[in-house]
Structure 1
Amino acid sequence: MKICFHGTADEISRVAGRPLLVLLTARDLPRMRVFELYHPHVHASTSHEHYRLCAVMTETTDEGRTA
């Protein structure tokens, strides 16, 4: 699925610098889900203070990775 994050340069750099993203879910779903980001693109907004990071997000089990 495609996802976009909006924020300042500092906020976007925190997300863009990580290949994995962990999201907390609602009560009736598993507590955490891990996603991998592919093909990230950063776009500057018209205000030049905010940016948009768009990427393809795919759920992963994160098997075999070490911290």
Structure 2
Amino acid sequence: MADLVEALLADRCFEESKQAFKENGAQAWEAAFSAVGQMAAVELMQNRSVNKYMQEFAKLLDQSKLRKLTE
């Protein structure tokens, strides 16, 4: 993962990364990689095996305890 981040910031998108940092500081990079992470999570959840595992995991959670968080 570090190799990918480094390649994007320092190689493939050097000028864009430099300009984004100049204009918005590290927050620009944080926002960009947050979006990448969100897209990766969506793709991961579309995987049948992962989705099945998450459904089984959800069954182990005490929903009544978690529901109290939103009351």
- TM normalised by structure 1 equals 0.24
Which structure has more relative contact order (CA 8 Å, sep 6+)? It is 1
Q: Which of structures 1 and 2 has the bigger CA Rg?
A: 2
| Greater share of residues in helix | 2
- TM normalised by structure 2 equals 0.23
| Greater share of residues in strand | 1
